[in-house]
Structure 1
Amino acid sequence: MDNKTQKSKIFKWPNNDMGQEDDYVATEAPLEIRLGHSKDEFNTLAISMCSPSEVNELVYGYLFTENIINTSSDVVEINVFDNDLGLISEVLLDRSVNYQKFINKRYGMVHASCGICGKTDFDDLLTFNYPARKRTEGGIEPQIILSLPDKLKLKQRAFMQTGGLHASALFSDTGKLLCINEDVGRHNALDKLIGTALRKDMLPLRKHIILLSGRVSFELVHKALMAGVNTLCAIGAPSSLSIEIAQVNGLQLYGFSKANGFNRYTGKSHHV
């Protein structure tokens, strides 16, 4: 199981005429993430609904943004296999990683649309001590911000087929598209992006821009801050809490990004 899309029989009603045809839909499957120090014993960390592709990147990014691992070398190996219900990812961790303290705090269903579901200690998020980040002077040039949405759209292949996937894209601070990840879940798409960067030893992303295809929740800002990025853009709108956390931590946050305009929610008003 490694596809973002699959064919489905649908009934379509164009011009007052019902007909049946094949169409592409986004594939969604449960992923159980298990952690262990030995191949003989694993503990379930979480069950996430996701697109069954780039699973290793999703796991790396998820573990990193949950502060369970600090580097890619903390993961010894990952084995992903199918069962009758979905996917299971068994993650063998270096013995220096104390994962047991996270098991009871995060065990449960993590829905594709809500990465925060399953956390039992919300105060931990509100008072999180993020890694030190280098603050940038001023902001990104407006023309660079304006150019990002179209570059993302051209690479959203699975979304163009289905209309059912979110995307996260990583750009250089000059607007060059470096990579893009898609998933049925907004949080998963960003975890896959961060996992990709972690495996390529690109973190922290101080000289990069992340663009999200949808809205910005608090946890997406949290993940961006964990990755060390200074500029986070989105096609949609940010929530009030995401703006507050971005402002406190010096993150440049943009929303409603289009080819002809954008909103900036943090930083000094005379800078873009």
Structure 2
Amino acid sequence: MVAPTARRRVARVPATVVDGDAVRRRRERVVGEEPLEIRVAGPDGTVLATTATMRTPGHDFELAAGLLHAEGVLAGPEDLAEIRYCTDVEEQHYNVVTVHLRGAPRRDLAVRTLMSTASCGVCGAASLDALCERVPVVGGGLRVDGGVLSGLPDALRAAQPLFDETGGIHAAGLFSPGGDVLAVREDVGRHNALDKVLGARLLAGGLPAGDAVAVLSGRVSYELVQKTAAAGVPVLVAVSAPSSLAVATAERLGVTLAAFVRDGRFTLYAHPGRVVGAA
């Protein structure tokens, strides 16, 4: 299920550059941002639910699979019949995908979730308690050295070709405990980047990912911890700050949360025992 990239990931736009007294017109590269509509269909082809998100085109099938897994709609690739673009939408061709399930959704699509709010945050879940009833606590014996952990944001940044080209895009990556890159995806949305990288792992049959560390290029919010825990990833690393609900969710779901990871320093907010040297 490899999605072709038919929409532009990078666009060239006219701009005016002012440098002191010098003013010049030129075309600048900016990251692409377009809507993606995700439809969920049953075995008979009937559309059961839809959601939409703004994203950078590319890896759209992974994005759809990752989002649906985080929401409990599907458990693994065995639940998928196929994912394909909808060719009946001419103007928005490659901006609408349908995820065809082999059977009934694993979760009632009538329940208010991120599927109904396009990953807008806590408003998409009834409560943290309800989330903890659905997502099992992450366990496992993974350990990561503090020195390796502190270098992961730089390793993520080195694997961002779209950032090099545009200077304005988020990234999420999966790394081994030793710091090796397993997968990196870029997107204008933080949650989309994580959905893409976890969706790639799901489509490869690699969830739960108890052998991996997730790394984010920005801040950590509730839904990002949710997605990490749903994928069974035991350690989440971020360059910037967490929210209070992100910390509470990580604590409840067993995720080691490291934030402000930069310049050789980091702050551990939940389950520090997995980080060697942090005791």
User: Fold match, TM over 0.5?
Assistant: yes
Residue 207 of structure 1, aligned match among 207, 211, 221: 211
In the other structure, the counterpart of 1:105 is: 112
Q: Report the counterpart of residue 223 of structure 1 in structure 2.
A: 227
Deviation at 1:237, TM superposition (A): 0.7
CA–CA distance in structure 1, aligned partners of residues 28 and 253 of structure 2: 44
Tell me if 1:14 matches 2:19. Answer: yes
Task: Quickly say closer, same or farther: Cα 1:77–1:118, change in 2 above 3 A.
Answer: farther
Q: Which runs of 5+ in 2 are unaligned?
A: 1-5
Distance 1:126 1:30, change over 3 A: same
Cα distance in 1 for residues equivalent to 2:165 and 2:185:
15
List gaps (5 residues or longer) in structure 1.
none
Q: 1:143 to 1:89 in 2, by over 3 A?
A: same
Moved more, 157-166 or 227-236: 157-166
By how many angstroms is 1:25 displaced? Answer: 0.7
Partner of 2:61: 56
Q: Deviations over 1:103-137 (max 9, x none)?
A: 56356562xxx542772634665544322532437
Compute the TM-score of the two structures, normalised by the length of structure 2: 0.87
Offset of 1:92 from its aligned partner?
1.1
Read off the aligned partner of 2:235 and give its amino acid letter. T
- Aligned partners of 2:204 and 2:7: how far apart in 1? 21
Counterpart mapping for 1:72-111 below 5 A: 72-81=77-86, 83-85=90-92, 87-97=95-105, 101-103=108-110, 105-106=112-113, 110=118
Q: Is the 8 A contact 2:256 2:272 kept in 1?
A: no
Tell me what 1:37 maps to. Answer: 42
Q: Say if 1:115 and 1:187, in contact at 8 Å, map to a contact too.
A: no
**Cα deviations by residue, 1:64-93 (Å, 9 ceiling, x for unpaired):** 001000011211011114642461111111
Tell whether the 8 Å contact from 1:32 to 1:44 is kept in structure 2 after alignment.
no
1:108–1:251: structure 2 CA closer, same or farther, 3 Å change rule? closer
Cα gap change, 1:126 to 1:38, in 2 (>3 Å): closer
Whole-angstrom distance in 2 between the partners of 1:206 and 1:129: 18
Alpha-carbon contact 2:171-2:193 (below 8 Å) kept: yes
Instruction: Kindly provide the CA deviation profile for residues 174-220 of structure 1, in whole angstroms up to 9, marking residues without a partner as x.
Output: 11111100111110100001101111121111121110000000110
Aligned length: 267
C-alpha distance in structure 2 between counterparts of 1:159 and 1:125, whole Å: 37
Matched-pair contact (CA < 8 Å) for 2:70–2:231: yes
> Which segment drifts farther, 44-53 or 90-99?
90-99
RMSD: 2.3
> Structure 1 segments of 4 or more deviating over 4 A?
106-109, 122-127
8 Å contact from structure 2 (residues 72, 106) kept in 1: no
- The 3 A distance-change label for structure 1 pair 84 and 43 is farther
3-state SS of paired residue (1:254):
strand
Q: Do the aligned partners of residues 134 and 126 (structure 1) sit closer, same or farther apart at CA in structure 2, a change above 3 Å counting?
A: closer
| TM-score, L = length of structure 1 | 0.89
Identity of aligned residues (%): 30
1:271 aligns with 2:278: yes
Matching of residues 94-243 of structure 1 within 5 Å: 94-97=102-105, 101-103=108-110, 105-106=112-113, 110=118, 115-116=120-121, 119=124, 121-122=126-127, 125-136=130-141, 139-243=143-247
